[in-house]
């Protein structure tokens, strides 16, 4: 401090003129103002690198296929990914936002999608505190947003996911669906949060090659209660015909403190021949119930999912999936987990159900 004061006002035994002192004070003030502006500028714009690594050792039974043990990235509590997200404050409550997110397989380092670098998300948009937010690009479907965010799946499509590719849709076996998970060429609107309520809308242009996708989601989240309802469909198929794959989903969860209860229901009508992999399916009614119990660094989850599928050719099929998992947080960013799950369906052939029983142990790390 003495050296600083000496530098500003002269060393001991030295007297500065009044003009020199005033000039020095102005210089110090100018530097302080410039520093404040630099801090404000850096606070107005930010870019964050983030991601997740998640890998599990999984044993799959041999009721249909040979029993096997695999190191995989396909049944984790969160898919491996890396991403960039950023926001710029434009003033007046207006912000520019973007997200670029790429999935990969942590067991072998390969890309999750060989044709898309940012296969998980790739959008840019504007948000207003009073008017809501518009996003343009590749985005999660509304059905998936409801499954992830409003309690119809307490594992968030994780180790006990309600959306299960192990049931062969081509043979008329599905549980819940997430309407394709993500959609290209999307325009997404998120309304402001009004006392816990928010409306989300999505329209995705088919651009002459696929059907236009459209839907709406109404959600509520306040205190211990989360609840939402969504509807999505494909409209105006490029080959002609009417709208198809009409999916209505309802989900809710309530945190009682000692445990959280989650419920979900989904009805799908008019799958249509436009979905080649599901052409044999007529209507689907699916139900889900789950419970989450936290205790210390542990989280216990159990979930049961059931679906009844009406077939175009007549008759119906039923399928069930249930299981339990335990997660342990080593830190805020690192979790160990284990899970057991069972799948079954009536009238199973030899190829329709892949892995009736699975047991897995894994680790997930966020960065």
| The pLDDT value given to residue 11 | 41
| CA dist list (Å): 130 to 45, 93, 261, 322 | 20, 8, 33, 43
- The answer as to whether 177 is a domain residue is yes
- The answer as to whether 41 is a domain residue is no
- The answer as to whether 33 is a domain residue is no
- How many separate domains does the chain show? 1
- The answer as to whether 237 is a domain residue is yes
- The answer as to whether 45 is a domain residue is no
Q: What is the CATH number of the domain that holds 117?
A: 2.40.160.10
CA pair distance 206, 261, nearest whole angstrom: 38
| The pLDDT value given to residue 307 | 94
- The answer as to whether 17 is a domain residue is no
| The pLDDT value given to residue 132 | 98
Which residues contact residue 200 at a Cβ distance below 8 angstroms, ignoring those fewer than 6 apart? 142, 145, 188, 189, 190, 191, 216, 217, 218, 219
- The answer as to whether 54 is a domain residue is yes
Domain interval for residue 150: 50-366
- 141: three-class secondary structure by DSSP: coil
H/E element, 358: strand 357-366
- Model pLDDT for residues 176-212, shown as the tens digit of each residue: 999 989 999 999 999 999 999 999 999 998 888 888 9
- The answer as to whether 23 is a domain residue is no
| The pLDDT value given to residue 44 | 78
28 within 8 A of 8, measured Cβ to Cβ: yes
Going by the DSSP 8-state scheme, the letter that residue 41 receives in this structure is H
CA pair distance 355, 60, nearest whole angstrom: 6
Q: How many CB atoms lie within 10 A of CB 23?
A: 12
Residues of the chain with pLDDT under 50: 1-42, 350
């Amino acid at each position: 401090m003495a050296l600083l004061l000496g530098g500003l006002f002269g060393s001991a035994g030295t007297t500065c003129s009044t003009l020199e002192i005033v000039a020095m004070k102005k210089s110090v003030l100018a530097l302080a103002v410039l520093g404040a502006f630099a801090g404000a500028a850096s606070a107005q714009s930010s870019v964050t690198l983030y991601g997740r690594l998640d890998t599990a050792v999984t044993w799959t039974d041999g009721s249909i296929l040979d029993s096997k043990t695999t190191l995989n990235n396909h049944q984790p509590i969160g898919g491996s990914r890396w991403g960039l997200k950023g926001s710029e404050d434009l003033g007046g409550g207006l912000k520019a936002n973007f997200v670029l997110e790429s999935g990969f397989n942590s067991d072998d380092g390969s890309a999750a999608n060989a044709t898309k670098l940012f296969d998980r998300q790739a959008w840019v948009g504007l948000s207003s505190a009073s008017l809501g937010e518009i996003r343009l690009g590749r985005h999660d479907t509304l059905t998936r947003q409801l499954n992830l965010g409003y309690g119809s799946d307490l594992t968030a499509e994780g180790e006990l996911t309600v959306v299960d590719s192990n049931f062969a849709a081509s043979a008329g076996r599905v549980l819940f669906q997430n309407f394709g998970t993500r959609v290209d060429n999307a325009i997404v609107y998120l309304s402001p949060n009004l006392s816990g309520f928010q409306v989300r809308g999505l329209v995705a242009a088919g651009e002459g090659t696929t059907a236009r996708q459209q839907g709406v989601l109404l959600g509520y989240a306040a205190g211990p209660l989360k609840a939402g309802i969504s509807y999505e469909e494909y409209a105006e198929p490029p080959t002609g015909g009417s709208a198809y794959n009409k999916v209505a989903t309802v989900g809710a969860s309530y945190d009682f403190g000692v445990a959280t209860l989650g419920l979900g229901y989904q009805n799908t009508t008019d799958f249509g021949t436009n979905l080649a992999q599901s052409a044999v399916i007529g209507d689907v009614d699916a139900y889900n119930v789950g419970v989450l119990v936290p205790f210390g660094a542990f989280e216990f989850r159990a979930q049961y999912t059931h679906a009844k599928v009406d077939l175009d050719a007549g008759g119906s099929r039923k399928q069930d999936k249930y299981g339990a998992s335990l997660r342990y947080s080593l830190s805020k960013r690192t979790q160990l987990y284990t899970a057991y799950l069972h799948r079954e369906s009536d009238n199973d052939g030899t190829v329709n159900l892949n892995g009736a029983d699975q047991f897995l142990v894994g680790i997930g790390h966020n960065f």
